[in-house]
Structure 1
């Protein structure tokens, strides 16, 4: 008997994406990857910032991050637009937004207002500082959240100024938490017999939750976590080194068994028996001399050669990859971390595949990012029940 393909796990769940830029929209993207019907509300003239232009066109970035979404235009700054979105909300299981609390209140989109009209909806508020607290109405972006969460302070070399991550790390961390919280709330509603609820996700909290033992250590010892660069003073050897072909490679041999393997590979089997390197504590005390020895050995080999040697010996190692390296890497390609999809503007476009992998219901990229307002007729007429003349009038008035 031929097995039918199972539905995606979030098939039948409708998501209204009332957000812009990154953390909140990507929350919706993750849900769309696993089957949710996502309707993205965009400003009528220019659309979302991630379109990459000021004309509402499509960028490759938009194609990836707005995949599996439908686009409708709506000016939330007008009373008519605010009324229209409130009419839409009851049709959706999940509503996601990321405007400041005071702005949401002025638009009638605050939690109390939306719960009154959609008591069973999951309402997700991804804001810079949360819906409560003295900073709740401050604006934020990934850079600001990273600073406030303490992530920027501990990033970089100890003798240099702090640096921000090269990617919008906190935005994506918040998006993972946002998607997780939505699925948790849906389970509570649909399986555990609960109702709708409000999810209050502060951008900075996503970064702060990743701060390891910084707080507990400070509370018990008074020590402030500082920048460590590429080296952890308690785990030696574990760092980055320059190879003979002037690339950088990262290796971790900080445990005693791994250090013995590294010493054997370096043809220096005596190193683990020396008093200054025999234990983790001893290696930490004598890190500089050990790192000099390893750096000299690394400098005699290419990055590719070392990557093979180290991993074959059971020592975790990787060259520092740029995006060109990643795009050509066989593991990324054969595992499907990168997938290639057809796009109307960019042809065969590689992009990050849906993660994580579910054995029976893996995520899918069904469409790439839509054209601005592509689904106005479908949503305003087909879902909301407006006439074609009413939709035309809304467009003429600049509401959609």
Structure 2
């Protein structure tokens, strides 16, 4: 059986980034066929190599985040190392970078220089605050973007300080916007004579763009959205409830017909037929009453029984999944969302499958994150360096 060509096959990406936002964007491109050449410092490489849980000295997150990438070492403090990067960029379609604005310019790798070298280049620039404005050159990680962009203010319970989500969601959101913008820039390039452009993604703006009706509600009504725990005021009922056996399930019954089915499943035909609860506005006006009733019903059932009753009534509901639940869940397995790969020592390791699912040209993992500089020689040979020149670069500390 012939393996289908992936949709980004033929594109060359040079990744000048580290940790999360830039590398996550490049990972997605690599999963769908782009050749991703990750530039790393020969002195240790991307710090992500040593973040969180290590297996045989290397982060398991690294193996996931850098799958399908080629690692090339280049010392950006050495003129010959910079020349290696320039020669790679000259043949690239995309550069992904998440340095603080101004850093690449000081190195002679800014947009003006690289676009003159390669007029068709699309440059994805991810940073805390974007390439312009009074905060542009300040450092900013995903946590800062989540805080400034409004996400942390509304996350948590009203009687407690704001909390973060359990992952680096701000970086990941920025990466997704970055991929979207890059694909749009490539489309523009196709339609307008092959001219590239900059895709400028600020972490705080990436988060801010996800904040639903936060801005118009304040502008029109002066309403400030606050922390509300697991409920969403104005959308009722949608909440998390605790079962008799101490498990937690989420029920989303805010559709009119779904709410009626939930009430019937709970044995409350009176509420199912109550005209004041027939639409969301009426339900939200009686939010506390309804949540108390649902809390009590769920608390009277074990998790399995509650979920079975809700499934039979076609009411959207789910347990709060831990990773243990995911590894045993038929839906995860059927959708190949737990993909088995080989670590460098041959050990089997499961990683998340590729998203989204394309019917004709699906993405895939071909190899896990590489060893530092694993592909340096092979890649440099493609841009005109012979074995002697590569040995000299390595001897001089340029790669």
* TM-score normalized by the length of structure 2: 0.94
1:22 to 12, 20, 23: 20
Q: Following superposition of structure 1 onto structure 2, how do residues 126-165 of structure 1 map, counting pairs within 5 Å? A: 126-165=126-165
1:300 positional shift: 1.6
SS of equivalent to 2:153: coil
Does residue 218 in structure 1 map to residue 218 in structure 2?
A: yes
Moved more, 325-334 or 55-64: 55-64
Describe the shift of the 1:396–1:251 C-alpha distance in structure 2 as closer, same or farther (beyond 3 A). Answer: same
The answer to whether the Cα contact below 8 Å between 1:276 and 1:286 also exists between their aligned partners in 2 is no
The answer to whether the Cα contact below 8 Å between 1:311 and 1:317 also exists between their aligned partners in 2 is yes
1:48 to 43, 46, 49: 46
- Structure 2 stretches of 5 or more lacking a match? none
Describe the shift of the 1:345–1:171 C-alpha distance in structure 2 as closer, same or farther (beyond 3 A). Answer: farther
The answer to whether the Cα contact below 8 Å between 2:51 and 2:61 also exists between their aligned partners in 1 is no
1:190 positional shift: 3.0
Aligned to 2:65: 65
Root mean square deviation, CA, Å: 2.0
SS of equivalent to 1:101: coil
Determine the C-alpha separation between the residues in 1 that align with 2:38 and 2:57.
15
1:141 positional shift: 1.0
Describe the shift of the 1:396–1:162 C-alpha distance in structure 2 as closer, same or farther (beyond 3 A). Answer: same
Determine the C-alpha separation between the residues in 2 that align with 1:279 and 1:126.
43
1:187 positional shift: 2.1
1:275 positional shift: 7.1
Aligned to 2:363: 363
The answer to whether the Cα contact below 8 Å between 1:58 and 1:371 also exists between their aligned partners in 2 is no
SS of equivalent to 2:58: coil
The answer to whether the Cα contact below 8 Å between 1:19 and 1:98 also exists between their aligned partners in 2 is yes
SS of equivalent to 2:84: helix
SS of equivalent to 2:152: coil
1:7 to 5, 8, 14: 5
Does residue 38 in structure 1 map to residue 15 in structure 2?
A: no
Does residue 351 in structure 1 map to residue 351 in structure 2?
A: yes
* TM-score normalized by the length of structure 1: 0.94
Q: Following superposition of structure 1 onto structure 2, how do residues 241-280 of structure 1 map, counting pairs within 5 Å? A: 241-274=241-274, 277=277, 279-280=279-280
1:40 positional shift: 0.5
Aligned to 1:119: 119
The answer to whether the Cα contact below 8 Å between 1:60 and 1:346 also exists between their aligned partners in 2 is no
SS of equivalent to 1:301: coil
- Structure 1 stretches of 5 or more lacking a match? none
Does residue 290 in structure 1 map to residue 290 in structure 2?
A: yes
Determine the C-alpha separation between the residues in 2 that align with 1:255 and 1:8.
38
- Residues paired across the two proteins, number: 397
Determine the C-alpha separation between the residues in 1 that align with 2:79 and 2:137.
22
SS of equivalent to 1:270: helix
1:398 positional shift: 2.3
Moved more, 129-138 or 298-307: 298-307
Moved more, 332-341 or 343-352: 343-352
Determine the C-alpha separation between the residues in 2 that align with 1:319 and 1:330.
14
Describe the shift of the 1:44–1:57 C-alpha distance in structure 2 as closer, same or farther (beyond 3 A). Answer: farther
The answer to whether the Cα contact below 8 Å between 1:354 and 1:363 also exists between their aligned partners in 2 is yes
Cα displacement string for residues 219-262 of structure 1 (whole angstroms, at most 9, x for unaligned residues): 11111111121112222221110001101100012233222111
Aligned to 1:176: 176
Cα displacement string for residues 20-47 of structure 1 (whole angstroms, at most 9, x for unaligned residues): 0011111111011111111111111211
